[in-house]
Amino acid sequence: MSKKEKLIERFLGMPSDFHYKEMVRLLNYHNFKEVERHQVQE
């Protein structure tokens, strides 16, 4: 089983300790990209 498949299985198990970085990695496998927000100064 690949790392990608293990991460998907972990996510589908709905763990309470699933971290933000794991979610970003999972979404990156599906071609989503994280966009950093820049604050506008007034």
Q: Is residue 9 part of a domain?
A: yes
Q: Is residue 42 part of a domain?
A: no
Q: How many domains does the chain have?
A: 1
Q: Is residue 40 part of a domain?
A: no
Q: Report the candidate in 17, 35, 33 with the shortest Cα–Cα distance to residue 25.
A: 33
Residues spanned by the domain of 8: 1-34
24 touches 34 (CB < 8 A)? yes
pLDDT of residue 41: 75
Q: Classify the C-alpha dihedral 11-8-1-21 as positive or negative.
A: negative
Q: What is the mean pLDDT of each run of 10 residues along the chain (42 residues)?
A: 93 94 93 85 72
DSSP code of residue 40? P
pLDDT of residue 22: 95
Cβ contacts of 38 within 8 Å, gap of 6 or more: none
